[in-house]
Amino acid sequence: MNRSFKFHLNNKVIFSILYLYFLITSFLIIPAGDDFFWWGKPGHYLLTHHFYGLDSSFGGSSNGRYLGNLLEILIMHSSIFAAIFYAGIITTFVWCLWYLTGRTRVSLIMALAFFITLQSGYIQSIFMWFAGFVNYLPPITLLLLYCIMFKKYIKTNYSLPAAFFFLMSFIGGLFVEHMTLYQIFVGLLSIYFIKIWNKRKNNNLSKNIVYAYTLGAVSSAIFMFVNPAYYFSRNEYRKVSFSLDKYFESYVNTTHFWIITFNYFIITLICLSLIVIALKEVKSKRIQYFIIISAVFFIIYYLSVNLYLKLNCKINYINYQFFQVNHKLALIDGLFGILFYLFLIASTLLVLKNYDTYFYLFSTVALFIPFLFILSPIFIREYFSSFVFLYILGIIYVNKAIAIIDMTTLTHKIFKIIMSGIVLSYALVMFMMIANYQSNMNRVKDPDFLYTAKTLEHKVPYPAFVSQNDELMMQSPVYWHNRLNYKLNDYFYNGNYK
């Protein structure tokens, strides 16, 4: 067995184990909030009424996210389906991170580390909450899959049937609105790029697949936005502002913390990589000093400010917003956030000169810009797709830095050590989730909770791995009655669901 085949086989084993891990994880997730809404009578009503309802209590759940809503209902009614789907999407997502960034050992380590290095808000609102998971992870995963297939097509002229690409973008557009619209941009960009590529390389690549992808994206957008909820809703859930003051306020108070400050892990890796790249490859002393001094500053600043925020400020995990932060600190931190992005843009243009990285950089910015204009709903999960592209950019930077350092004799040992650390981290997460699951099953059997609907008295041991920090009001006695096989005399179907 040659070395390359052996490494490829090991990757298959790793991703198989990853799938099994998340398959088990799915059964340990504690539902909360909207999960019960979609499981219960309101979800059934929306399912049978084109996901549109006039009752203001439906809030943002009345929408055109047809596939996301349907999958949430299926997940809440079938733990087997939930496990298969949940594990499949996450494993595919991690595989895409690895594949898009060069399929190196560094790429594999970074892709596997994604789940264990995320800030708490992303873990709670996407990976540990079915209602968030079904709408935010599948569309970004499908977009990354398209990026992989498009790159493969450009390099080898290999192509699947055009109908496959139409279906991919049509499905990807039925989850969350900003990704639905971004798919159209990606499709138009693909058409333009194929045209330029054919002209420059004197090739004759067919535009069929990119036309099909774009048509699917447009079709899904039309299908989504014909839903009356976007035009005739009577609730105040969706608010959009056209005031510069509101944009500024949103950025200072909320946005920059989630898209920049709390992503200190990937920021630190990017800055360390830039220091190595500048020392080894940048010839201009001015540019070299600019990159190194700036990178060192941002490493020190973001590690320090995160330590300060953790020790001195409180975060409201229900709305994923600060409620105790000095305004001057937020203002200064917001300014440094802008400076960091300007530094990132300049550095990428200087040291990573290829279209792939330009697209990832652009996507990082383009996917959070819309949420400066939206006043509500604004939670951390809206910024997830932007963060994914920042993380991809980070992997590319780390790959480049490692490649120019002579670590031949140490690479295998370092790889083993880091992989061992990742395995231990995953094991620790599993331990905490099992402890949470057992604690939750014990507390929901409380007769006061089940029969008189009193609020639960205590949280699980590790609330950071439960949606909304395990807010006690977010648990439903009706759901647990059914799950524990208690008889309720048709309580649920007689309209008494809360």
> Which candidate, 173, 399, 117, 145, places its Cα nearest to that of 277?
399
Q: How many CB atoms lie within 10 A of CB 147?
A: 20
Confidence label for 54 from pLDDT (cuts 50, 70 and 90):
confident
Those residues with Cβ within 8 angstroms of residue 180's Cβ, 6 or more apart along the chain or in another chain: 139, 172, 173, 174, 217, 220, 221, 224
Task: Verify cis geometry, omega within 30 degrees of 0, for the bond prior to 377.
Answer: yes
Q: Is-contact 69 38, C-beta < 8 A?
A: yes
CA distance 292 to 274: 7
Q: What is the pLDDT at residue 137?
A: 97
Those residues with Cβ within 8 angstroms of residue 292's Cβ, 6 or more apart along the chain or in another chain: 274, 275, 278, 279
> String of b and e for 466-477 (b: at least 16 CB within 10 Å)?
bbbbbbeebbbb
More confident residue, 217 or 12: 217
More confident residue, 495 or 193: 193
> String of b and e for 411-422 (b: at least 16 CB within 10 Å)?
eeeeeeebbeeb
- How far is the first Cα of the chain from the last one, in angstroms, to the nearest whole number? 61
User: To 10 degrees, what angle do helices 66-77 and 130-156 make?
Assistant: 120
Q: What is the pLDDT at residue 423?
A: 94
More confident residue, 14 or 201: 14
Residue pLDDT, tens place only, 122-168: 999 999 999 999 999 999 999 999 999 998 888 777 778 889 999 99
Q: DSSP letter for 383, please.
A: G
Confidence label for 1 from pLDDT (cuts 50, 70 and 90):
very low
Mean pLDDT, rounded, of the chain: 87
Residue pLDDT, tens place only, 402-435: 988 866 555 777 888 888 999 999 999 999 999 9
Give me the mean pLDDT over the 433-441 stretch: 96
Length in residues, the chain: 498
Confidence label for 487 from pLDDT (cuts 50, 70 and 90):
very low
CA distance 305 to 261: 8
Confidence label for 285 from pLDDT (cuts 50, 70 and 90):
very high
Of 204-213, 229-238, 324-333, 420-429, least confident by mean pLDDT is: 229-238
Give me the mean pLDDT over the 260-276 stretch: 95
CA distance 333 to 252: 8
Percentage, residues of the chain above pLDDT 90: 59
Amino acid identity of residue 104, one-letter, is T
Q: Does residue 494 carry a pLDDT above 50? A: no
Give me the mean pLDDT over the 393-399 stretch: 95
